[in-house]
A and B are shown apart, each in its own frame.
Chain A
């Protein structure tokens, strides 16, 4: 195998594994904020109980995100040194901004969030949680910003000042707000929130199936199900569609690969299932006529640019892009069905609580949302090939020249073994945490004795020791 392919395999492997966790922390984080707000607003102790339980799960997920996230920051330099030298001025500054604005916020407040259950009142605990979730959201924003610059680069010029060609920033505003950034961040955040809410749904449905913690489980579903369903609908009709329109305008070759469209044509069909043969330049399967034209230009007569407009050496692997894209789309449709059906059963005489098959489906949904989110990311990244920076720098020209295949086999093997072990232990521990269930409600008096404002934290010592001297 070529070193380029090995470099790509390693990056795809590590970034995909990492990408299991951030959407979970973004989404579960959002649900935790809702629990926290309810704990502040109502007297019902169940909200704090739910927070305590989900914060523990959050901690486990978050630590996995931290452990696997730093890998990418290293790999740009270790495996893609030509790329790093080329884009450091632009891409590097966005990563540095992520560090100072997002990670520092998360890192600063994570301790308070994870250990806040026995040390902070509802208000301050909610504050700490909100800061961590805000940090995670900023982090996603900077990363999508950096990746969007790779998809639709602008605001730069290429010069050689003695270190090979490098991209230099001409306008920071243009670098940050590339045409693809806003549609992509909306699409990604909605996806992440769906992953998180489906995680909460999954656990709630599991308890209902086992007839344990029934009241708390119903509360989890009452909070998560409406969010999940609304997001599922918005994702398809608004954020996803908006994203596809953006790709059709900015990266027509990518859109053509997503739908396996070789010839430029009007009334272009949209496939539901299919197979694309890149050699024969044909795509066959079940399709809806004219729907792609309607999607991109809101009229059936619109012309959609096919792959023929792009030289074949600049095509991505068409069938691969086609398949991961359609996996995402079809799962997206399935989520509307699952959410809609579960809502209907819930509203219709509260049948959801006893409908065992529906609860089983809900338990499985988190796996499907994870797959859909990963497929979306793969569509974006596989679809950008053979470019690492769209139409500017080829992936084949971006690797480290001094890293040989022996070193790459070693590091790939290391990551495979390490990640398999870590994933196995993570799933076992997650399973135990869930089976252990929520803790008993905390005593009202104890909660009231905890410091619940900045003044109480910093002016006087709380009655329950926060480890104070």
Chain B
């Protein structure tokens, strides 16, 4: 296995880490206007993610940095090619951060309701934009021989990518709902408990349809699955995880349901990565212009240094991430320091 292949694997791990961790707090943001009826309930939902959302978002920053270093050509082509979409991602990321920080700083109802909407809509916006970006990557983009593309915002909003975005919204809402089942109580919990199975059903239908559409639409994707049948282990694992999550929700085992949901997200991303590999960004202009794990990777010196960083850093990251989640476990109680 070459260093660039190892880094492709690690990169997918980082993306999955982001989707699992920030996924549930984006989901909480999207669910908030639908399940929380009072200011206290909204605060409980916000404080369920209060101590951890920032650490979760760091995985996105890490993903950006790792892509820049390990696959600089992909980073440069993708970010410049999706210029306006990336600017909108920044817009919603900034709005969401300040909304979380600002909303409870004043008592005024109008103030709070304004920032609540900003928080929800920006959570929705991030999910949609990331979904659209992923959809376009799977679908292929108009890369030329220099790895340059110019896809306007309108070009990004094709039906397939929007379908990926809608599925992502359902997936993160479901994941957020399962997370909240561990964090809230009373009427709010009842509402969420009633909602989660419906979200799950909706997600299952959307996901199944999307898998079908992907296999029909992307010949290379389907071919990869025919050539390397063992990679079917990823979608199989995802299916198993969905069923486990369903079973654990029915038995009100929220923590294991949450773990199953996390495994489901990771395996779905694994399934996408395995279907694309070794291509990272397919070119719709000419397959020869596609950016692959081999032609877009950094040199071995850089990848080695980065691997050393990852080996030293990751255990610490996992250690204090686990520590913080353990410390803030259990149902939310509001106090003076809460958001």
Contact = CB atoms under 8 A, between A and B. Distances in A.
Given A81-B76, A89-B298, A418-B94, A96 B65 contact: yes
B227 interface: no
Contact of A400 (B64, B80, B89, B301): B80
Nearest to A454: B323
Main secondary structure of the interface of B (DSSP, over half): helix
Contacts of B76: 77, 81-82, 84-85, 88, 400
B326 interface: yes
Contact of B65 (A66, A73, A170): A73
Interface in B70-114: 70-73, 75-84, 86-87, 89-91, 93-95, 97-98, 100-102, 105-106
B58 A101 contact: no
Interface string A63-101: 110111011011011110110110111111101111111
B interface, size bucket: 35 or more
B94 A104 contact: no
Interface string B152-165: 00000000000000
Interface string B278-317: 0000000000000000011011011001100110011011
B69 interface: yes
Given A81-B80, A469-B329, A70 B51 contact: no
A37 interface: no
A357 interface: no
B65 A98 contact: yes
Given A93-B302, A96-B62, A101 B328 contact: no
B102 A425 contact: yes
Given A101-B309, A104-B317, A112 B80 contact: no
B65 A99 contact: yes
B331 A467 contact: yes
Contact of A100 (B51, B62, B77, B147): B62
A466 B305 contact: no
A432 B310 CA distance: 42
B301 A172 contact: yes
Contacts of A429: 102, 105-106
Contacts of B101: 59-60, 63-64
Contacts of A74: 64, 79, 86, 89-90
Contacts of B62: 96, 99-100, 103-104
A398 B63 CA distance: 23
Interface string A364-407: 00000000000000000000000000000000000011110001
Contact of A105 (B94, B146, B320): B320
B55 A84 contact: no
Contacts of A104: 55, 58, 62, 313, 316-317, 320-321
Contacts of A95: 64-65, 68-69
A403 B56 CA distance: 30
Contacts of A302: none
Contacts of B75: 77, 84, 88, 92
A96 B106 CA distance: 37
A166 interface: yes
B93 A70 contact: yes
B68 A77 contact: yes
A71 B337 contact: no
A335 B97 CA distance: 34
Contact of B305 (A81, A93, A111, A414): A93
B58 A89 contact: no
Interface string A122-163: 000000000000000000000000000000000000000111
A97 B313 CA distance: 9
Interface of A: 56, 59-60, 63-64, 66-68, 70-71, 73-74, 76-79, 81-82, 84-85, 87-93, 95-101, 103-112, 114-115, 117-119, 161-164, 166, 168-170, 172, 400-403, 407, 410-411, 414, 418, 422, 425-426, 429, 432-433, 439, 457-458, 465-469
9 contacts: A70-B64, A82-B76, A89-B299, A106-B54, A111-B54, A162-B295, A401-B148, A402-B83, A429-B102
- Interface pairs A-B: 5 shortest CB-CB: A88-B72, A111-B51, A77-B79, A92-B69, A107-B55
Given A100-B65, A169-B305, 20 more contacts: A63-B97, A67-B93, A73-B61, A73-B68, A77-B75, A81-B79, A84-B75, A92-B67, A92-B69, A92-B70, A93-B69, A95-B64, A99-B62, A104-B320, A105-B316, A110-B51, A169-B301, A403-B80, A403-B83, A467-B333
Interface of B: 50-52, 54-58, 60-62, 64-73, 75-84, 86-87, 89-91, 93-95, 97-98, 100-102, 105-106, 146-150, 295-296, 298-299, 301-302, 305-306, 309-310, 313-314, 316-317, 320-321, 323-324, 326-333, 335-338
